[in-house]
Amino acid sequence: MKVVFIRPSNPTGSGYLRSFGFLPVPLGLLQLAGDVKEAGDHEVKIIDMEADQMNVPRVINETLRFNPDIVGLALHATAAHNVSVSIAKGIKEMKPDVVTLAGGHHATFVPEEMLRNHFDVVVMGEGDETMMELVNIVENHDDLAKVKGIVYRDKDGTIKRTPPRPLMRDLDKLPMPAFDLVNREKYTFDVFGKNETVACMETSRGCPYACEFCSVTPTWGNSWRNKSNERILKELSEIKRLGYSWVFFTDDIFIVQPNIKDRMTLFNQIIENGLSANFIAQMRVDITARNPEVIKKASDAGLRIAFLGVESGDDETLKKLHKGTVTSLAEKAVKVLHENGVIVLIGLILGAPYDTFKKMMKTIRFAYRLSDLGADSVQFSIYTPLPGTRVFVKALKEKRLFTLNWDYYDVLLPVMKTKSNPLLVQFLQYYGNYTFYLRKWIRGKFVRSKVPERKLELLRRAERYFAGKLGHYVKEIVVSLPAGLIKTARLMRQGTLPSEEKLQELISSSKVIVYSETEEKRNRYFSIDD
């Protein structure tokens, strides 16, 4: 079989690429390619729309040139929905016998919509074992009903769901990701220099928490699984051999309570085996704040950037978000990371249904406070009800959504009615982002004597990059902000509501927690705050 996997880009592209020149390898697709190769004698190609700055016709042409039997698109990001549909449509028109597949966080929760729009099969949640089976079933013209964990269109046109596939218990059984299918030089991290390249690696899957806005828990279940340290070291040495200078650990939470001891061992083993690289990881503030010795060891092993999901500067809001942390822990976490020479990127959310102007300003001021404690960079996102989450179901039931055009669900535009005016939320998002850096610059905190040496060197490199991008930032403020405000104002006026039938379909597809086998567990997850 000939299989093409595609990473689509969304209309606004990746915010990280625009701001930091950060584009990591498409790990999900490399993993799936590894899976397919393990499943049999199949040929695989990866097309990365983002890395190659491709438009839809070029993606279609390039796909067809390979003459594939199966084409799979990764729909993590909700905002990549429409682009993916256009790609599938173009491919199907030219080659109707191709089997089109969709997978990833978004596709999992809107399978009917995908199947009505030029996709033949949607793979729910974890795709590895499903993909290994699927490729052979398609090759043998066998019955799709035999494959667990998919939604597909039957020959008579009806939509069928097969029983859920249990999660893989042993992640060490995963084949190695097929890094040979991509060109390292395309995966860059320009903020630190032109030759910096970024690989991705997952050491675990899932998250034991259940923040109300996040689609990770519904996608992977409320469970957390990890690879053994031996397997992690094997993958790391392969990545090092390939010459990547940065490794982005894609784990939702890189250190969770049950694996603290294992992580300490891992960091020691990385040091002993000379496998240190520049590491980037996503962390919880509570675990970081409470385990400074682990952070020190992580930094010694190579942790250079930590993304902290701080979310809010208001404790009451954090409670409502079901974050399970408090602001004092965020302060401590930033300090611990900073003191250990780690660059700190903080993520904050504005525009939750219960956010008021006062609370949002409190969050912005909290970002300043964290900046004074050592936070280096900020990302203000707009609270977005993503398919699969309970806030999406709630917003649908309460008819709060302005639009179901997925292009707008890029976490940068307000898409629902809340207590605050969406235009204000959007303005504050820009205001928060830009004043954070302006303030830093004016106060001269960017490069200062108290910054640990490990971090200072990277910050100096970043400074040069940002200086070169001043034009881009001015354009963002002068062009993107007014354009965004106009777009939002139009959306608010339209306020298109889906038909009752569509509404019910979205609610029931979104309420499927892929790996929560019992009805009772599912109901418990969705009844929080109902």
Give the residues lining the site for ligand SF4 (CB under 6 A): 207, 209-211, 214, 216-217, 252-253, 284, 309
Question: CB under 6 A: which stretch of 20-28, 238-246, 332-340, 349-357 binds ligand B12?
Answer: 20-28
Closer of 216 and 330 to ligand B12 (Cβ)? 216
Give the integer Cα–Cα distance in Å for 509 and 502.
11
Q: Which does 211 bind (CB under 5 to 8 A by kind): ligand SF4, ligand B12, none?
A: ligand SF4
For residues 224 to 253, the per-residue mask of contacts with ligand B12, x marking binding by CB under 6 A and - elsewhere, is: --------------------------x-x-
Does 323 participate in binding ligand B12 (rule CB under 6 A)? Answer: no
Q: Which residues of 115-129 are buried (b: 16+ CB within 10 A; e: fewer)?
A: bebbbbbbbbbbbbb
- What the block records as the tokens of 84 is 């993916």
Q: Which does 210 bind (CB under 5 to 8 A by kind): ligand B12, ligand SF4, none?
A: ligand SF4
Q: What is the dihedral of CA 92, 93, 97, 100, to 10 degrees?
A: 0
Closest-CA residue to 104 (of 5, 239, 223, 178)? 5
Amino acid identity for residue 509 in this structure: S
DSSP-derived secondary structure for 87-146: HHHHHHHH-TTSEEEEESHHHHH-HHHHHHTT-SEEE-S--HHHHHHHHHHHHTT--GGG
Closer of 224 and 368 to ligand B12 (Cβ)? 224
User: Phi and psi dihedrals of 277, rounded to 5?
Assistant: -140, -165
DSSP-derived secondary structure for 188-235: BBGGG-TT-BEEEE-SEE--S---TT-SHHHHH-S--EE--HHHHHHH
Closer of 125 and 422 to ligand B12 (Cβ)? 125
Q: Which does 310 bind (CB under 5 to 8 A by kind): ligand B12, ligand SF4, none?
A: none
CB atoms within 10 A of CB 203: 22
Q: Which does 309 bind (CB under 5 to 8 A by kind): ligand B12, ligand SF4, none?
A: ligand SF4
Does 70 participate in binding ligand B12 (rule CB under 6 A)? Answer: no
Give the integer Cα–Cα distance in Å for 298 and 294.
6
Does 84 participate in binding ligand B12 (rule CB under 6 A)? Answer: no
Does 9 participate in binding ligand B12 (rule CB under 6 A)? Answer: yes
Question: CB under 6 A: which stretch of 23-31, 37-45, 269-277, 395-403 binds ligand B12?
Answer: 23-31
Give me the least distance between CB of 436 and ligand SF4, in Å please. 21
Are 464 and 395 contacting, i.e. CB atoms less than 8 angstroms apart? Answer: no
Among the listed residues 216, 301, 321, 393, the single contact to ligand B12 using CB under 6 A:
216
Give me the least distance between CB of 128 and ligand B12, in Å please. 5
Closer of 186 and 322 to ligand SF4 (Cβ)? 322
Give the integer Cα–Cα distance in Å for 217 and 167.
13
Q: Which does 209 bind (CB under 5 to 8 A by kind): ligand B12, ligand SF4, none?
A: ligand SF4
Q: Which does 302 bind (CB under 5 to 8 A by kind): ligand B12, ligand SF4, none?
A: none
189 bridge partner residues? 22
Which stretches does DSSP call E strand in 276-342?
278-283, 303-311
Q: Which helix (H) or strand (E) holds 391?
A: helix 390-397
Q: Which helix (H) or strand (E) holds 491?
A: helix 481-494
Give me the least distance between CB of 323 and ligand SF4, in Å please. 7
Of 436-465, binders to ligand B12 (CB under 6 A) are none
Give the integer Cα–Cα distance in Å for 464 and 192.
9
Does 101 participate in binding ligand B12 (rule CB under 6 A)? Answer: yes
Give me the least distance between CB of 253 and ligand SF4, in Å please. 6
Give me the least distance between CB of 530 and ligand SF4, in Å please. 18
Does 376 participate in binding ligand B12 (rule CB under 6 A)? Answer: no
- What the block records as the tokens of 421 is 């005016």
For residues 182 to 201, the per-residue mask of contacts with ligand B12, x marking binding by CB under 6 A and - elsewhere, is: ------------------x-
Of 250-289, binders to ligand B12 (CB under 6 A) are 250, 252
Binding site for ligand B12 (CB under 6 A): 7, 9-10, 14-16, 24, 26-28, 31-32, 50, 72-74, 76-80, 101, 103-106, 123, 126-128, 131, 200, 202, 214-216, 250, 252, 386, 410-412
